[in-house]
Amino acid sequence: MTSFRASALAWMIIAGGGLMVAVADDGGRPSYPKTPRIPVTDVYHGVEVVDPYRWLEDVKDPKVRAWAESQTKLTRSILDAYAGRPELVATLRKMYDYQTTSTPTVRGHRYFFTRKEGLKNQPIVYVREGAADAEPRLLLDPNTLAADGTVALDWMFPAPDGALLAYGTSANGSEMSTLRVLDVATGKPLPDEITRTRACTVAWEPGQKAFWYVRYAAKGTVPPGDEMYNRKIYRHVLGSDPETDVMMFGAGRPKTDWLGVHESEDGKYAIIRSSIDWIKNDLYLKKLGDDSPIVPLAVGLEGHVDAHIFEGKVVILTNVGKPRRHVLVTDVDHLDPKDWKEIIPEGEGVIESVEIADRKLAVLRSTKAVSSLSIHNLDGGKVRDLALPMLGHAAGLEAAWDRPELFYSFQSYVFPPAVYAHQVDTGATRIIDRATARVDSDAYELTQVEYASKDGTRVPMFILKRKGLVLDGNAPTLLYGYGGFDISLTPNYDPDIRIWLDRGGVYAVANLRGGGELGREWHAAGRLGKKQNVFDDFIAAAEYLIKEKYTNPGRLAIEGGSNGGLLVSACMTQRPDLYRAVLCAVPLCDMLRYHKFSIAQLWIPEYGSSDSAEAFAWLKTYSPYQNVKPGTAYPATMLLTGESDTRVEPMHAFKMAARLQDESSSNRPILLRVEMKAGHGAGKPLAKRIEEDADKWTFLFQQLGMNGAH
């Protein structure tokens, strides 16, 4: 976080019981920067809506930048006044100073993985030769690309024989990748360099002389603003000019079509994935290395479809007709869905992924966001279940289809990640990498409860606390949620959550509708016109924590980011009495205009658009920015955004902060934190993450009356 000089506002530090709280010199409302109201009236389907802060949408305007800087000065003056913040930063540095690795990607005789090393800003790419536990060799260190760590590795795709590595990097959290190719044996770059490859995927051709990849349109070739859309698939021959690359797929398709491509397990086919909706996709197939046509594999089906191909067999994972997914098999000569044969039926848990290892199937399931893992024969018969250490999350399944080793990772909130190698042929399992973080997992207690939402729907929730904590209704409690885009909130290791737990805090994660925790129907129940269900679920989670004597409204905070920022800002405007503090990161707040910015047209299938009269009716009822009501006592709120965010425009946080500051009757602070040289969060340097975490905990300690001492 870039520091600014303190604002002209004089602040007094009041000490009481060890708690340091910054308050305005009159003991009351903070003196916010002046924010002119310049009303603009829009008419949506005959309804007038006034927007008083439209001018804040142009975040590159010098006036807006000056306003944002003045907001940051205010925020810093409050947070930096907390005497315990330096010690907090030091503690966070210790907690983040550990080593952990990803599961390895197997290509030829090489194993590629990334490793987070201590306090280095970015993970480093390593390769092992011959065995998964051989001595690693450094291949690519993004930390050398920028002194401040603001150049990040976005993605990487090794060639099938492991000789080459295609990878993308971007600066300042922009996610606007440049594709490059590395010779793995020498570590030297090839001359190939391709821009406009955000969120790229790659399919290597046999022989590794060419690859298929995803690229965006050049500026000037599409209407202004559409450069953020129009993903197409191209073919690049190594050593050739990228501007002469031939488009292989995407001509004439909708500009919001989200395309991806990867080679099949046996390297013979390119599998093309296409989607313009978050609930379904199409798959196409192309034999690589010849002039055969692209053929449909699964097109026009009502659901998600994924495929794995080896030895002429096609293994299909889909939720078409089965909300929690099932597994089917066919062959490359019989792609018609009528020929697909079910081998693993839908069960209680959601099948998250399937990986091919030693011609068998590794099947990862999630039951209410808790993982289980099993091995099956190609006829679907179960070989064995794999024992997992505790209530937690397995992920990152990796294998070669003709080798017996299956790799996966496991972690939980206070169980640092470990990477496992399971021998599919013998059943033996060993740990090949374990995070070096030192955590006494036995000191904490993780439970999963269910509570009733407003309409009676039972919603699962994780609750984490120190063992022995007395529940008397007074514990400071942080409730986290997301609830959207079929994304599941699982028990992932969080290095700094112990700062909260060790000070008597309770941490709760609600698995709201709109997510994927209970399958496709769970997602459908929280999207489009049913989005209010998500807010009702979150509000009910807060009420449960109060009813069950975990906390009370004066000691309850809520947190969410991105779609979760929409969640907490909507719940704050609907039930401001229920929370003491709100952490609202990179949020969507103006839901009547969100689709006019950046890549947000991609989200219309999830939210709807105010261009539609039907969608306008439901968006207007919950859009946080439009539902801030004058004279309401809103909770203390910190809105966080990044100046380089190319997903959710900073204008959402800007406008929401301005409106809350102007219209809240509460003396509780409304703060805006703008991170320089950072975006939505991907690739953020560790140094910036630590400073941001310090600010979040400082804010919560100040607002919930915690002295920060163990």
Phi, psi of 698 (to 5 degrees): -55, -50
For 283, the 3-state DSSP assignment is strand
> How far is the C-alpha of 128 from the C-alpha of 99, rounded, in Å?
17
- Tokens describing residue 232: 């197409």
Length of the chain: 710
> How far is the C-alpha of 199 from the C-alpha of 155, rounded, in Å?
7
Amino acid, res. 86 = P
Which residue bears the tokens 């279940």? Answer: 385
Beta-carbon contacts of residue 348 (< 8 Å; ≥ 6 apart): 324, 367
C-alpha separations of 319 from 212, 271, 305, 337, 523 in Å: 28, 18, 7, 13, 12
> How far is the C-alpha of 225 from the C-alpha of 222, rounded, in Å?
8
DSSP per-residue codes, 669-686: -EEEEEETT--SSTT--H
Phi, psi of 447 (to 5 degrees): -125, 160
For 339, the 3-state DSSP assignment is helix
Of the candidates 252, 229, 320, the residue with the CA atom closest to the CA atom of residue 282: 320
- Tokens describing residue 309: 């191909």
Would you call 479 exposed, middle or buried from its count of C-beta atoms within 10 A (0-12, 13-18, 19+)? Answer: buried
Please enumerate, as own/partner, the contacts of 467-470 that have beta carbons within 8 Å and a separation of 24 or more: 467/442, 467/443, 469/504, 469/506
3-state secondary structure 150-186: CEEEEEEEECCCCCEEEEEEEECCCCCCEEEEEECCC
> How far is the C-alpha of 205 from the C-alpha of 203, rounded, in Å?
7
Active site residues: 562, 680
Q: How many CB atoms lie within 10 A of CB 376?
A: 18
Contact between 153 and 165 (Cβ < 8 Å): no
> How far is the C-alpha of 462 from the C-alpha of 170, rounded, in Å?
35
> How far is the C-alpha of 632 from the C-alpha of 58, rounded, in Å?
28
Amino acid, res. 546 = I
- Tokens describing residue 346: 């839908």
Q: How many CB atoms lie within 10 A of CB 426?
A: 8
> How far is the C-alpha of 203 from the C-alpha of 193, rounded, in Å?
17
C-alpha separations of 72 from 199, 370, 558, 670, 677 in Å: 31, 40, 22, 11, 15
Amino acid, res. 291 = D
